[in-house]
Structure 1
Amino acid sequence: MPQFTDFELLALDGAPMPLSTFKGRVVLVVNVASMCGFTPQYAGLEQLWRSYKGRGLTIIGCPCDQFGHQEPGTEAEIGAFCSSRYDVSFPMSAKLEVNGDQAHPLWQWMRDAEPGVLGTTAVKWNFTKFLIGRDGQVIARYAPTATPESMVNDIEAALAAV
């Protein structure tokens, strides 16, 4: 059975990001976009990262331009925006797709592992979130409207699990 650490992303700077480096950590994976109504969630994600990284949480932002062309920039532009507007310091991947034939295999796996409303697997919009447990399996899927703050209890429970 595949697990989170079997996959690899490219980092925003183009360097390989093997997810095996996050083995044993709780990971929140989010498809992000710079020009979305949910973009202010970057602030809450950064706060979660700063509050819980020492306890074993990693947040990975995955820029995606599949929803309303709300992430049109280059990786350099995305990085500059996240840094200057939200002081983002958590890991970010290079721009990728979360749906369709070109969807990144990690996103295909997460979608299949935790379907959305009515059993649909497609990601519906920016800032859909997946919580991965220390065992490398998907714990939960969150809608774009779920704020980072609303996930604190689930994150704390995942961090407490052995």
Structure 2
Amino acid sequence: MTVLRREVLGMLAGACAGPVLAGRAAAREEAPSALSFSFARAGGGMYPLSAYRGKPILIVNTATNCGFAGQFATLEQLWQRYSGRGLMLLAVPSNDFGGQEPLNGAAIAEAARQSHGATYAFAEKTVVKGPDAHPFYRWAAAQRPWEVPKWNFHKYLIGRSGELLGGYSSMADPLGPQLVRAIGQELQAG
């Protein structure tokens, strides 16, 4: 009788937990990947991240008047090193931190090119924090709430399948070992 009771209780517990666990699994499967998002292109058009499926993507919120603006040049070095192997680098200008992006549109990319030699892609100026943030940034914040942008030049590395591999603070050197290793691993995985 005790064995039968355990079996019945086990089946009841499984029947009750099954829909809950299935619902959680379905919610994870339905959660969009980074490849579900697009950014407006500075000067017109869009950057659909799905166009970069199978390639790692580094997304960096930038500002031309920020103390970290020297990273435009370091990001260019990273871009030159890895773009031929498949890395996509997208600068996402934002005025969210200290009002340090006074320019708009293609003028932002032009300023970064003239001052720092930046030749990688630039999105249109975008909100990256709070309830009005671009959907990608809201998604990333939900995925990794401990790695949200706290200042300009925060970096998100997106894997080849669209998963968020990690967030790197403004202080993280684009050519630092942690980010370079993560990019290298993702490029080798392809």
TM-score, normalization: structure 1? 0.93
Distance in 2 between residues matched to 1:14 and 1:100, nearest whole Å: 25
Percent sequence identity over aligned pairs = 37
Matched, 1:54 2:84: yes
Deviations 1:75-107 (A, max 9, x none): 132122011111211111000001122100011
Do 2:94 and 2:125's aligned partners in 1 also have CA atoms closer than 8 Å?
yes
Q: Select 1:19's aligned residue among 49, 52, 55.
A: 49
Q: Select 1:85's aligned residue among 97, 101, 115.
A: 115
Do 2:59 and 2:155's aligned partners in 1 also have CA atoms closer than 8 Å?
yes
Amino acid in structure 2 at the alignment position of 1:148? P
Amino acid in structure 2 at the alignment position of 1:141? G
Which secondary structure does the structure 2 equivalent of 1:31 belong to? strand
Amino acid in structure 2 at the alignment position of 1:80? E
**Higher RCO by CA contacts (8 Å cutoff, separation 6 or greater):** 1
Unaligned stretches of 5+ residues in structure 1: none
TM-score, normalization: structure 2? 0.80
Aligned residue pairs total 158
Distance in 2 between residues matched to 1:30 and 1:81, nearest whole Å: 16
Structure-1 residue corresponding to 2:149: 123
Unaligned stretches of 5+ residues in structure 2: 1-30
Alignment of 1:25-104 (within 5 A): 25-104=55-134
Which secondary structure does the structure 2 equivalent of 1:148 belong to? coil
Which secondary structure does the structure 1 equivalent of 2:121 belong to? coil
Please state which structure has a larger fraction of its residues in helix: 2
Which has the larger Rg?
Answer: 2
